[in-house]
C-alpha cells in the first residue's frame, strides 16, 4: 500500500504552492562584521508575528514562500544586502516562529495581506519596498493589488503565477525531471518504518530530497538548510484552512493598478513557467523582467552575484 504522502506529490506541491509545514535552522553568524539585528513577536491583526530585522539603511520587507515555511531559508544568502538595506523578515501567521494560536476562520489571504499592512504600520513605513519569493511572490502581488498606494517598489523572485492558469504546467515540468531512479529513491524514502511512523529525521530526509529537482545544479541543495518543526502537525492543521482561497484566483487585472517600479527575477530552469512571469510583466505598468540562465527556483542561492547586483541596481534608482 502506498503511503498517503508520496514524494511525487511533494514535488508538485512544494514548488507550485509549497503546502508544507516547516521551519528553517538558525542562520550562521556573519563573521565579517557586526550586523545590527533584532527579533521580536509583534501583535498584528489579531495574532503574534515573529519579525527579524538585520542591517541598516532603506527598509526592505522580505516575504518568504510557503505557506508553512519560515523566513530562515533566506539566510545567510541575503546578508550581502545588509550593508545598504535594513531587511525586515517575518514568519507568516501560524508559520515558523509566529503564533499558531489563531482561529481557523482567520486563515484567509485577506488576513495574510492585512498582516503585511500591519507590519508596515508597526515599522512606521509610509511607502515600503517589498520582496516576495515563490509563494511569497503571490502574497506580495495580493498585497500590491490591495494597497498599491503603500508601495515604493516590489521585487518578485521566482514567483509563482498570478493565477492557477500555469499550475498544471509547473507540475508537468517537475514530474518531467524525475527519472525512474529518482522515483525509486523517493519510494524507498517514503516506505521506511521511520517515515511511516512520522519520525522527524526520516520525514526530513524525504522532504529535503524532494527539493533537489527545484535546483539547476542539485548540489546547491546543500546550501538550503531545512528542518521540520516539532509542532508541524498543529501548524499544518491551521494552514489547511487557507486552501479555499487558493483553489481559484486571478490577480492579473489588479496588477494594472500597481504603478510602483517592479522587478521580476526568474530562473530559466524554474519549474514555474516563464510564460507565467511574462504575463505578470505584461499586466504590471512599470516592471522589468530579468531571466537568469542556469538557475532554478532559488536565484539568491544559485546565482548570488547576479541576484545581488540586479537587486541593488534596481533599488538604487
What is the band of 33 on the pLDDT scale with cuts at 50, 70, 90?
A: low
What is the band of 205 on the pLDDT scale with cuts at 50, 70, 90?
A: confident
Residue 298 sits in which domain range?
22-164+234-315
Q: Residue 250 maps to which CATH number?
A: 3.40.50.1820
pLDDT of 149-200, one tens digit each? Answer: 999 999 999 999 999 999 999 999 998 988 888 788 888 989 999 888 878 7
Residue 97 resides in a domain: yes
Calpha distance 123→111 (Å, rounded)? 18
Residue 216 resides in a domain: no
The pLDDT score that the predictor gives to residue 194 is 87
pLDDT of 250-267, one tens digit each? Answer: 999 999 999 999 999 999
Residue 85 resides in a domain: yes
Give the whole-number percent of the chain exceeding pLDDT 90: 68
What is the band of 237 on the pLDDT scale with cuts at 50, 70, 90?
A: confident
Residue 90 resides in a domain: yes
Q: What is the domain count for the chain? A: 1
Residue 282 resides in a domain: yes
Kind and range of the H or E element at 195?
A: helix 193-196
Give the cell for residue 298.
Answer: 532559488
Calpha distance 273→253 (Å, rounded)? 20
Residue 205 resides in a domain: no
The pLDDT score that the predictor gives to residue 93 is 94
Amino acid at each position: 500500500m502506498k503511503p498517503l504522502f508520496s514524494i511525487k506529490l511533494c514535488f508538485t506541491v512544494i514548488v507550485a504552492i509549497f503546502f508544507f509545514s516547516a521551519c528553517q535552522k538558525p542562520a550562521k553568524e556573519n563573521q565579517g562584521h557586526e550586523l545590527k539585528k533584532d527579533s521580536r513577536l509583534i501583535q498584528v491583526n489579531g495574532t503574534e508575528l515573529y519579525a527579524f530585522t538585520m542591517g541598516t539603511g532603506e527598509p526592505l520587507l522580505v516575504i518568504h514562500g510557503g505557506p508553512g515555511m519560515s523566513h530562515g531559508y533566506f539566510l545567510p544568502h541575503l546578508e550581502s544586502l545588509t550593508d545598504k538595506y535594513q531587511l525586515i523578515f517575518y514568519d507568516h501567521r501560524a508559520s515558523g516562529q509566529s503564533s499558531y494560536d489563531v482561529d481557523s476562520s482567520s486563515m484567509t489571504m485577506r488576513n495574510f495581506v492585512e498582516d503585511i499592512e500591519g507590519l508596515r504600520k508597526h515599522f512606521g513605513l509610509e511607502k515600503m519596498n517589498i520582496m516576495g519569493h515563490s509563494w511569497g511572490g503571490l502574497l506580495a502581488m495580493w498585497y500590491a493589488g490591495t494597497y498599491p498606494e503603500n508601495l515604493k517598489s516590489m521585487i518578485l523572485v521566482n514567483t509563482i503565477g498570478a493565477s492557477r492558469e500555469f499550475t498544471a504546467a509547473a507540475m508537468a515540468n517537475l514530474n518531467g525531471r524525475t527519472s525512474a531512479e529518482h522515483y525509486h529513491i523517493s519510494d524507498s524514502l517514503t516506505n521506511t518504518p521511520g517515515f511511516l511512523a512520522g519520525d522527524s529525521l526520516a520525514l526530513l530526509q524525504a522532504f529535503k530530497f524532494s527539493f533537489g529537482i527545484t535546483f539547476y545544479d542539485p548540489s546547491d541543495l546543500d546550501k538550503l538548510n531545512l528542518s521540520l518543526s516539532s509542532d508541524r502537525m498543529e501548524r499544518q492543521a491551521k494552514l489547511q484552512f487557507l486552501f479555499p482561497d487558493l483553489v481559484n484566483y486571478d490577480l492579473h487585472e489588479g496588477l494594472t493598478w500597481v504603478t510602483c517600479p517592479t522587478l521580476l527575477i526568474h530562473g530559466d530552469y524554474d519549474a514555474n513557467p516563464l510564460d507565467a512571469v511574462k504575463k505578470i510583466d505584461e499586466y504590471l505598468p512599470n516592471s522589468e523582467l530579468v531571466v537568469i540562465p542556469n538557475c532554478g527556483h532559488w536565484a539568491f542561492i544559485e546565482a548570488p552575484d547576479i541576484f545581488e547586483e540586479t537587486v541593488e541596481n534596481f533599488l538604487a534608482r
